Structure 1
Amino acid sequence: MDRLGNPQLRSAAFVVVNQATGEVILEKKSDSVLPIASITKLMTAMVVLDGGQSLSEEIVITEDDLDTIKGTGSRLALGTRLTREQLLHLALMSSENRAASALGRSYPGGIAAFVKAMNVKARLVGLGDTRFSDSTGLDPTNVSSPRDLVRMVSAASTYPLIRRFSTSSEDHVEIRGRMHRFGNTNSLVRSPEWEIDVSKTGYIREAGRCLVMQARLLNQRVIIVLMDSEGRYTRTADAVRIKKWLEAVGAQRVAGLAPGENG
């Protein structure tokens, strides 16, 4: 970026919004409807919590939870028994696909009823560009726009458990007598330079690398949506560019310079 210009972001579509005022700070192709990959799991979590099922109930990972779309693996072996709360934690923090599948499958009426509830919830929170076909995000027909995802992150931020689970750095889970470490897929939650309240990453080939966050920047809650980033680290680098740019612009305003003015 130049001294007063916009940051040069490498995500194909993005939007940055001041949550309190609704001001759009930065945007590019913010109305584009694109696959959202595991950003889906924020809606999965909201529907699970809205459903009011016991978080302490144990759920068994079955063959129905295997990924037949992308063929991804998992450390949650068949027969693994975890509570609904543990599965929710792994789905949000580590983007565990079998965990998200089991959450949807164990919903009253099964996965079909769960996906219907996801789409109903999407309408209720004003997501006109958003459609869901599964609870994991592996299905590329799960789509949304950056502007819709701002609303989805804002809705997710009202759930204390989603805030806590999506931003926790790691957890150790016993699976078949062995302890396994699961880490957060967003490395920024471990950075002392960031104050993040909601976080979710996503990746499938059709979606590219995606990242959504609610973060506190310049004492304001800001929602960042980055979609279709190329390269493994681009979405994180774009988030850092946004933070540095906002801090630089904020410092210039304090000094009496508005963006676009010469000093």
Structure 2
Amino acid sequence: MRMMLRAVVLWGALVVGTGLASMEAVHAADKAGSKSEAQKSKARTAEKAKAAPVSKKASSKKVAQQGKAVPRVSKAKSTRVAKASSAAPIGKSSASRIAKKQKTLDPSMANAVDLWHGQEHLAVRSGSALVIAQDGGEALYEKNARIVVPIASITKVMTAMVVLDSMPNLQAPITITDEDVDYLKGSRSRLQVGSVLTREMALLLALMSSENRAANALGRHYPGGLSAFVAAMNRKAAALGMSRTHFEDPTGLTSNNVSTAHDLARMVAAAYRYPLIREFSTTPGATAEVKGRDLEYRNTNQLVKSPTWEIGLSKTGYIQEAGKCLVMQARVADRPVVIVLLDSSGKQTRIGDANRIKRWMESASASGKATPA
């Protein structure tokens, strides 16, 4: 019995051993197969690695060739742009379109746009400006010329027209009263309350030296009084096509007296038809006898005394809201024009702008870029 049990045990051990051996053999084969696959994979990777430099070199060469081609394209484009840039100057119509586009993009118009024959830009420092032929037509130059702004004593040009339209007795005396005193701005005047002067002298002082009390007294002595006078001013403006203009007093001391450079050019052209306005507004100086005293007055526009200027009508203006203003009819480069300068800062800016405009026109005329009217 013991022998039989030993035989069974030995047989089981043999079977187990054989099974284990077989499993080890299988594992060994698997391991060998895995090693073989790994070697094959490694071999394939090595082959790819050998091939990669060739591919990279070809790719680099291709990129280099493409990189060389780019400058050739850019150069061709640059050549076309250069040719386009060296083309003929922009015509007047194109310049006008460009100017309109610039106005749309930049309403402040910090850089003024020249609309005259496509010339270089004219550096005008006034906030609003206009140079236009006296008989109207296309503007030679404009900057913010359709913006409504206060116009200060430029108002007095309209005051003079309305006074003369009523065909008054210019030698009739008018009296300065407390109603003529400026309590709005507190401006000074040498015409004391109670002063008496002729309507003609009051008109001269209002136009030449911008005398506020004289201008207000002229309005008060209008048929129907001051309110009727202001209404007549606004009717006159409407009749002249000054659609964006409004008046509330005959002096311009109120900032509610507003207009545009284009409207004022119409007013100046109309006022030029009044000989007395031409004479009085360009008189360099005068003496007024008031209350037994001789008072010396000077023109507020220093250019009327300049031998280099031929000015047919002039008026200055100033209040804080309007800045320094100047309108003129003048003959420049043998061409009658109206010049409007509004909202200037500094004492001499408007004068400097007027002189720059004059030199610009004379230079253009001398070089044959402009045809005198």
- Normalised by the shorter chain, which TM-score bucket? over 0.9
Matched, 1:123 2:247: no
User: 2-side partners of 1:218 and 1:12: how far apart?
Assistant: 25
Partner of 2:121: 6
Matched, 1:151 2:269: no
For the residue of structure 2 that corresponds to 1:11, the secondary structure is coil
Structure 2 portions without partners, runs of 5+: 1-111, 113-118
Greater helix fraction, Structure 1 or Structure 2: 2
Residue 7 (structure 1) shift? 2.2
The aligned runs of 1:64-83 (5 Å cut-off) are: 64-83=179-198
Residue 174 (structure 1) shift? 1.0
Query: What's the CA shift string for 1:241-260, capped at 9, x where partnerless?
Result: 0000100111111xxx579x
Q: Is the 8 A contact 1:15 1:147 kept in 2?
A: yes
Partner of 1:85: 200
How many equivalent pairs are there? Answer: 254
The structure, 1 or 2, with the larger RCO (C-alpha pairs under 8 Å, 6+ apart) is 1
User: 2-side partners of 1:251 and 1:180: how far apart?
Assistant: 44
Partner of 1:41: 156
Partner of 2:332: 217
Partner of 1:187: 302
Partner of 1:248: 363
Output the TM-score relative to the length of structure 2. 0.67
Alpha-carbon RMSD across the aligned residues, in angstroms, is 1.4
Query: What's the CA shift string for 1:23-81, capped at 9, x where partnerless?
Result: 31110111000000000000000000001111010001000000011011100011111
Q: Is the 8 A contact 1:6 1:245 kept in 2?
A: no
2:341 to 221, 226, 237: 226
Change (3 A) 1:97 1:258: closer
Q: Is the 8 A contact 2:135 2:269 kept in 1?
A: no
* Identity fraction in percent: 55
Q: Is the 8 A contact 1:88 1:99 kept in 2?
A: yes
Matched, 1:54 2:169: yes
2:281 to 152, 158, 166: 166
Residue 21 (structure 1) shift? 5.3
User: 1-side partners of 2:214 and 2:162: how far apart?
Assistant: 14
Output the TM-score relative to the length of structure 1. 0.94
Matched, 1:18 2:133: yes
2:247 to 124, 129, 132: 132
Residue 175 (structure 1) shift? 1.4
Greater strand fraction, Structure 1 or Structure 2: 1
Structure 1 portions without partners, runs of 5+: none
Instruction: Provide runs of 4+ in structure 1 moved above 3 Å.
Output: none
Residue 18 (structure 1) shift? 1.2
Residue 178 (structure 1) shift? 1.4
Aligned partner letter, 2:120? G
For the residue of structure 1 that corresponds to 2:367, the secondary structure is helix
Aligned partner letter, 1:91? A
